[in-house]
Structure 1
Amino acid sequence: MNINKELINLTSLLDFSNKLTQNLSEEFIINSTLFTIIGKLSICGVQATKSIDEKEIITFKKGRLDCETKITEVILIDHNIKYVFLLGKKIIEAEISDVEKQYVKLIISIAATALENFYNFQKLQFQKTQAEKKSQLLETLFEISRSFSGLSSEEKIVKALAFNIMGQLMTNKFAVLKTNGKNTILRNTLGITDIELTSIIPNLKKIKVDSDLDERYKDIIKIATPMNISGNTEGYLIIGPKMHGEYDESDFSFVSSLASTAISALENERLIQEEIEKKRFETELGLATEIQKRLLPKSKLETDKFSYYGMTKPSSEVGGDYFDYVKISESKYLFVIADVTGKGMPAALIMSNMQAAIQSLAPIEKDLKSLVDTVNKVVYRNTSKDMFITAFFCLLDSDKSTFEYINAGHFYPLLSASGNLTELKTGGVILGFLPSPIIYNSEVMQFEDTLVMYTDGLNEATDPAGNELGMEGVKKIVAEAVKLQPKEAVDYILNEAHKFSDSNQLSDDISIVVLKKK
């Protein structure tokens, strides 16, 4: 029998080829090749060493190679994977024949084809896995985006973002940071200490893409992605190492998309909250405006002994000024002008409480001092420590042509008599500043001509250079105004204030009340 012919029997080679193609395993292919060579050639040992880019990866060995190497065969797969086969000498004293060498070449060639198929299959499997992973991540991204749209607060969005980071990327270290102007604010974190974040945050502005991350922080974090919207960086997504394995390109792409989705959701939520706040403010403003309108009395009051006119002009839609009058008897009237700190709904509510107290108490209190003290008690109980009221109370007795007044920290009203202006200063502390009882001083004056009451918006009116009109300026204007009837006097004072300010809009609320004897 011709052994050499038997060795290269085509049926045997085909069986060997089928055997390799039926099992796509690199280790199986190499081991089968080594077993076939060592068995057919009866050699002492055979070895296959795999290298990628000239770096040794793994060595497969059958038998022993402490004997002399007789054959070296090299195969190259996919340009960078190389296998080097080493064959030892025969066990019996004989040389490896040319036919046997040809057989080895054929066997290794078949193995090379099987290995190429194996690597191609691996590539396809990897590409398929990556495609499936990208598809899964994309689907996850859509689901996250939908879930974000149903969340009603920044806190809930950030919490959902954190759960998705942990679930999808299998990490237990992350931080969500959001910028607020020049500052970076921590929104959520896990597994990264404040000290570590403190060292990282100053360097975040340098990061444009993940690869810009400083090597010093690679042990703490693996991904740091800016959260950009409309070209502006509004935050950062910081992610630590995976619990198992490393991040791949699809992970980086997913994180980048997740960061964009999250910041868009956060920005949308901010805009929604702004709109809600705007609507709330507009509603509050409308209510406060309505309250203020209802609180103010009719502008004009005429009796056979005096004329009265008052107006208020807020610097915004709702101011903190208030004026009122109460008819106590046919000859007695209480006049009040006040300035509440603040504006908007809080000021309107305080004004409402004050008006209710004055309207109900004025007819029953025995004297002006008791009335003011009781009003102070109401204001003190119903306002916060940072809110108070300056006020001027005037109780007119038109039969006697006298009035009693109390000034509770208000700018001095001016009494015109015989061409002279008198500042009405007597009184006490502002309302709501101290608890009752408080002793307020009062003074009785002759009502001979005109009484002008106003709020601080008048004497604090400023010209373009920033100079205030001041008390002297107010006196000059009032000295001319008292020559007119109440309505004309109020209009004159207001027009002069606008002229001084060189503007149609004053910087503060202004209220003016004129009481004139007939």
Structure 2
Amino acid sequence: MDKATQHGLEIYHELNDRVNYYSDEPKTLEEISNRVKILIEQLFEESENYRIQLEEFSLQLEAQVEELSKLYEELTAVLDIGKILHETLDPKKSMEKILDRIKDIISFDDIIVGEFSDYPPGKDFSILHADFNLLDFEGTVELIDYLNAEKKIKPMIFEKHPITHKEIPIMFIPIESRIKIWGFFLFYGSKNGIFTAGNRKIMESIAEQIAFSYDTLDFLNKKIEQEKLGEQLRIASEIQKSLLPKKIPEFQEIDIEAFYRPAYDIGGDYYDVVDLGEKVFIVLADVSGKSVPAALIMTSFRSILRHELEKEKDLATIVSNLNNYISREIPQDRFVTAIFMMLDYKNKKIEMINCGHNPTLILKDEELLTFDAEYMPIGIMEGFVFESQNLTYNEKVYVALYTDGITEARNEKSEEFELERLIDIFEKNKDKNSKEIIDIIIKKLDKFVGKASQHDDTTLMIIKSK
């Protein structure tokens, strides 16, 4: 074999080892030359394929890097928006900054940010922010109406404006939590031609953060209101307690004791005992309603009553003047049931006016009398004329004044304590002193109701001659 053929075979083997195209040996120099040409063409073809693959891979890698970069920008924007919301707590105050970050990651022509004022959402919404380049306010209202009518208050993309049917991309994203739909983002017109699923996904994440901020702010506001209300209730409770006598005056001829237990922090019952020298003025009242409004009415009631007692001694005049003032000052749906009593223990006389209250129980000379309400409650009608009932007794007299928190107290079987049970206990224990009688009645009342919750104040007053 000559040197040319040997050198040609070496080149052939080197190329064929790379391409692995031929399995047999060439016989002649011409065959070697032809095969070398074919192998070189194969190498060029493979090289071109590798180049194309490298270019495609480079493009794919570039696209992935761009996608990762975009994802990084979006995640950074979401984190930034979270920080913005954390700093202010109020989404309304943060909206301009939030939109600045949204504009960095989503392309749009118009945006409207709305806040629903009712739930479920309807027409009634306020605009927190708007760029009215393409879409006007009326168009927004029509669009929201359409979304509500079609029950499409959900994250979705509209390829056409549902009202004008123009080829304008729309993306509606509700600001929705588990509690309620607080508002919405309405994106209108995209420079990229469409809003992508990625746009929707990132906006859903942002809207979720904003909804959480709304929930948090709502919770904090309610907590603050509760604390304010709690403080108001505490003050009202202190005011109410200050209205009741700290200590009932003591008398040589008569024994008076009272018991008061509100159903809630602030009750609606009131009682008072005023020493007028020759007589004793006694009142027991029940203000309609509960809590702060009842306490305010009670304050006015006591103030006017005390003022009248300083200038008047006639019971009917006192009650008439009190009724006129209360009727003018309190709301029409409020009133006060009350028993007014003027006790002349030296002359053994009792003067009474019952204004819509429970029957007064009086034991005199071994006889039980009940004095029912003769007049409407205080505060119902101005200008009403009251007249008192008069009663005299010879030796002993026993009086029980109470509110319906006693007679209408219910046990766990929904049975009422009732007036008959109160009368029975009162009669059987009349020879005991006033405090002992009250203790026995309250003990039996508590045993009767058991663990059943009570929704009315419990007030009881016992008056008896010594």
- Which residue pairs with 2:205 in the alignment? 257
Which residue type is aligned with residue 245 of structure 2?
Answer: P
Q: Is the 8 A contact 1:179 1:234 kept in 2?
A: no
For residues 173 and 515 of structure 1, the distance between their equivalents in structure 2, rounded to whole angstroms, comes to 73
Q: Does the C-alpha gap of structure 1 residues 256 and 517 become closer, same or farther in structure 2, counting only changes over 3 Å?
A: same
Matched, 1:340 2:287: yes
Task: After TM superposition, give the deviation of residue 325 of structure 1 in Å.
Answer: 1.5
Matched, 1:440 2:440: no
Structure 2: tracts of 5 or more residues without a match = 1-43, 128-136
For residues 481 and 161 of structure 1, the distance between their equivalents in structure 2, rounded to whole angstroms, comes to 76
Task: After TM superposition, give the deviation of residue 323 of structure 1 in Å.
Answer: 0.4
Alignment of 1:94-173 (within 5 A): 117=55, 130-149=67-86, 151=88, 169=106, 170=108, 171-172=110-111
Matched, 1:375 2:290: no
What SS is found at the alignment partner of 1:450?
strand
Q: Is the 8 A contact 1:426 1:443 kept in 2?
A: no
Task: After TM superposition, give the deviation of residue 349 of structure 1 in Å.
Answer: 2.0
What SS is found at the alignment partner of 1:301?
coil
- Which residue pairs with 2:309 in the alignment? 362
Alignment of 1:237-386 (within 5 A): 239-240=185-186, 242-244=188-190, 245=192, 246-328=194-276, 330-386=277-333
Q: Does the C-alpha gap of structure 1 residues 291 and 225 become closer, same or farther in structure 2, counting only changes over 3 Å?
A: closer
Matched, 1:227 2:139: no
* 1:456-510 Cα distance to aligned partner (Å, 9 max, x none): 1011111222122233333223222433211111112212222222237533111
Q: Does the C-alpha gap of structure 1 residues 226 and 289 become closer, same or farther in structure 2, counting only changes over 3 Å?
A: closer
Task: After TM superposition, give the deviation of residue 449 of structure 1 in Å.
Answer: 0.9
Q: Does the C-alpha gap of structure 1 residues 124 and 345 become closer, same or farther in structure 2, counting only changes over 3 Å?
A: same
Which one of the candidate residues 177, 197, 212 is aligned to 2:147? 197
Given the two structures, how large is their TM-score scaled by the length of structure 2?
A: 0.73
Given the two structures, how large is their TM-score scaled by the length of structure 1?
A: 0.66
* 1:284-307 Cα distance to aligned partner (Å, 9 max, x none): 222122112211113543211101
| Identity within the alignment, % | 22
- Which residue pairs with 1:498 in the alignment? 446
What SS is found at the alignment partner of 1:346?
helix
What SS is found at the alignment partner of 1:362?
helix
- Which residue pairs with 1:77 in the alignment? none
For residues 78 and 314 of structure 2, the distance between their equivalents in structure 1, rounded to whole angstroms, comes to 75
Task: After TM superposition, give the deviation of residue 375 of structure 1 in Å.
Answer: 1.6
For residues 337 and 344 of structure 1, the distance between their equivalents in structure 2, rounded to whole angstroms, comes to 18
* 1:344-388 Cα distance to aligned partner (Å, 9 max, x none): 222222212211112222121241122112222332333222222
Q: Is the 8 A contact 1:288 1:348 kept in 2?
A: yes
Q: Does the C-alpha gap of structure 1 residues 241 and 291 become closer, same or farther in structure 2, counting only changes over 3 Å?
A: closer
| Deviation larger for 476-485 or 384-393 | 476-485
More strand by share: 1
Matched, 1:430 2:388: no
* 1:22-72 Cα distance to aligned partner (Å, 9 max, x none): xxxxxxxxxxxxxxxxxxxxxxxxxxxxxxxxxxxxxxxxxxxxxxxxxxx
Matched, 1:404 2:370: no
Which one of the candidate residues 406, 410, 425 is aligned to 1:458? 406
Which residue type is aligned with residue 444 of structure 1?
Answer: N
Q: Is the 8 A contact 1:161 1:262 kept in 2?
A: no
For residues 159 and 422 of structure 2, the distance between their equivalents in structure 1, rounded to whole angstroms, comes to 67
What SS is found at the alignment partner of 1:422?
strand
- Which residue pairs with 1:486 in the alignment? 434
| Deviation larger for 503-512 or 339-348 | 503-512
User: Once superposed, what is the RMSD of the aligned Cα atoms?
Assistant: 4.0
Which residue type is aligned with residue 437 of structure 1?
Answer: G
Q: Does the C-alpha gap of structure 1 residues 438 and 150 become closer, same or farther in structure 2, counting only changes over 3 Å?
A: farther
Q: Is the 8 A contact 1:413 1:452 kept in 2?
A: yes
Q: Is the 8 A contact 2:341 2:351 kept in 1?
A: yes
| Deviation larger for 392-401 or 359-368 | 359-368
Q: Is the 8 A contact 2:268 2:288 kept in 1?
A: yes
Q: Does the C-alpha gap of structure 1 residues 395 and 158 become closer, same or farther in structure 2, counting only changes over 3 Å?
A: farther
For residues 197 and 421 of structure 1, the distance between their equivalents in structure 2, rounded to whole angstroms, comes to 73
For residues 278 and 229 of structure 2, the distance between their equivalents in structure 1, rounded to whole angstroms, comes to 44
Which residue type is aligned with residue 176 of structure 2?
Answer: M
For residues 400 and 426 of structure 1, the distance between their equivalents in structure 2, rounded to whole angstroms, comes to 25
For residues 159 and 418 of structure 1, the distance between their equivalents in structure 2, rounded to whole angstroms, comes to 84
Task: After TM superposition, give the deviation of residue 255 of structure 1 in Å.
Answer: 1.1
Q: Does the C-alpha gap of structure 1 residues 179 and 144 become closer, same or farther in structure 2, counting only changes over 3 Å?
A: farther
Alignment: residue pair count: 401
For residues 397 and 314 of structure 2, the distance between their equivalents in structure 1, rounded to whole angstroms, comes to 24
Q: Is the 8 A contact 2:336 2:377 kept in 1?
A: yes
For residues 162 and 273 of structure 2, the distance between their equivalents in structure 1, rounded to whole angstroms, comes to 72
Q: Does the C-alpha gap of structure 1 residues 160 and 346 become closer, same or farther in structure 2, counting only changes over 3 Å?
A: farther
Structure 1: tracts of 5 or more residues without a match = 1-105
Q: Is the 8 A contact 1:498 1:506 kept in 2?
A: no
For residues 385 and 164 of structure 1, the distance between their equivalents in structure 2, rounded to whole angstroms, comes to 55
For residues 248 and 179 of structure 1, the distance between their equivalents in structure 2, rounded to whole angstroms, comes to 30
For residues 380 and 242 of structure 1, the distance between their equivalents in structure 2, rounded to whole angstroms, comes to 60
For residues 214 and 333 of structure 1, the distance between their equivalents in structure 2, rounded to whole angstroms, comes to 86
Task: After TM superposition, give the deviation of residue 136 of structure 1 in Å.
Answer: 4.2
* 1:248-303 Cα distance to aligned partner (Å, 9 max, x none): 34422321211221121122112212321221232122212211221111354321
Which residue type is aligned with residue 209 of structure 2?
Answer: T
